[in-house]
Structure 1
């Protein structure tokens, strides 16, 4: 939700700055310019990206404003809990844990443990899944980044089209000023959408994807250590590096 606050502040800055400069909100309203910028930008990305990347990009776009950073402390607690369960009741108990797990990556790892797979097999399978998921997400991020590159160009195209119409009506000099001002709204739309929405969102998603990948890597290591029969304390010590300095200090305090 913090990202939505940033979008609101950006809109407030633009509208407020325009108002303080003597402009009116109606001067920034131009449906034709919006159609050229939004429609043209989407069309360019459809031409560039495969359908699956395009669909995944828009799913991630919504996820960027609802997701939070993974809690590594909670992940450590989960690993400890699974380790203690296995010591008391055996690997098979993790079948039930896998069914309750909402994270498909973790559920797969727990199921591999419950099936009695070797540590090497568990690491091999989960590493492939981890890398594949991260690459698919980053490919979708590149679609959003490309949108941020196309939008300003489409804004310039909209401005040029507006200026062509203005030049076609030179016989009416009293309308020239308003026509030129209206034409430049397309540039504002293109540059604004790219730099205040698309590019920041792509960077936010990239950071979230990398954070989730690191979190999954920690869980993968924990599951492998459980398969190796390591004790909860040894596992905690081996995974300590995944925690930030403050988290690590609080964990050992």
Structure 2
């Protein structure tokens, strides 16, 4: 939701500022400039990436604007509680934990299931790290498409402007001098579209995807370590202390509050 608000705010500020400068919204509308900039940008991205990547663009956009970040303090509290249960009832008790929680993250579920099945700790680590790396690679690939669009869009805007100026100069001898300024202004709309879309849409979405990827890498690393600690039978309080290394100051304070609430 915050991403959509940011896009509306960015473009809204540009339009309002233009109106304050005694411009009109209609002056910003140019279907031909939009075709050149957005059509050209999309075509360039399609040429740059394989079709398999392009097919995932809808899912990538969904990831960028969907808020599904897990709270690390809550994850640590979950694994600490799970560690207490396994010390009391044994590792096989995890199976009931898996089946009872239908909303359990598939990545956590997969790791815990391997523990129940008696898979070697190193194999558990290798399998989970490989899955995490492949997920991260897909995220980076999605971000790269938007970064590329951010690079192509201003260039397409310049192309659109040059095309417009060629048309203006070509009809200079026959056109009305009073309309010349308006025609030149219209030609520069393409540059505006290219620069604005690159810096308020394509590049920010690419950066957003990279940040989401970093958060998910941290989250999956915490999950992997927690599952392996539980498999090794590490003391629950020790597990929590080790996993606190993944938290920043704000998250650490939140965990301490959450932990005290649970103990009470």
In the superposition, the TM-score normalised over structure 1's length comes to: 0.93
1:243 aligns with 247
1:175 aligns with 179
- Shift of residue 143 of structure 1? 1.0
2:29 aligns with 29
Please list, as runs of the form range in 1=range in 2, the aligned pairs for 1:65-214 lying within 5 A after superposition: 65-98=65-98, 100-170=102-172, 171-172=174-175, 173-214=177-218
2:219 aligns with 215
The separation in 2 between residues aligned to 1:109 and 1:52, in whole angstroms, is 28
- Shift of residue 196 of structure 1? 0.6
Could you say what secondary structure the match of 2:67 adopts? coil
Alignment of 1:17 onto 2:17 = yes
Instruction: Please point out which of 216, 222, 227 is paired with 2:231.
Output: 227
The separation in 2 between residues aligned to 1:75 and 1:56, in whole angstroms, is 29
The separation in 1 between residues aligned to 2:96 and 2:186, in whole angstroms, is 63
In the superposition, the TM-score normalised over structure 2's length comes to: 0.89
2:260 aligns with none
Worse overlay, 90-99 or 181-190? 90-99
The separation in 1 between residues aligned to 2:185 and 2:145, in whole angstroms, is 32
- Shift of residue 107 of structure 1? 2.1
Contact 1:37 1:151 in 2 (8 A): yes
The separation in 2 between residues aligned to 1:198 and 1:27, in whole angstroms, is 23
Could you say what secondary structure the match of 1:184 adopts? helix
The separation in 2 between residues aligned to 1:104 and 1:68, in whole angstroms, is 14
Alignment of 1:54 onto 2:54 = yes
Contact 1:119 1:225 in 2 (8 A): no
The separation in 1 between residues aligned to 2:42 and 2:15, in whole angstroms, is 25
Contact 1:98 1:106 in 2 (8 A): no
1:34-57 Cα deviation digits (max 9, x unpaired): 111111111111111112222334
Worse overlay, 27-36 or 109-118? 109-118
Over aligned residue pairs, what C-alpha RMSD do you find? 1.8
The separation in 2 between residues aligned to 1:95 and 1:241, in whole angstroms, is 28
Worse overlay, 222-231 or 2-11? 2-11
Could you say what secondary structure the match of 2:70 adopts? coil
Which consecutive unaligned segments of at least 5 residues does structure 2 have? Answer: 258-264
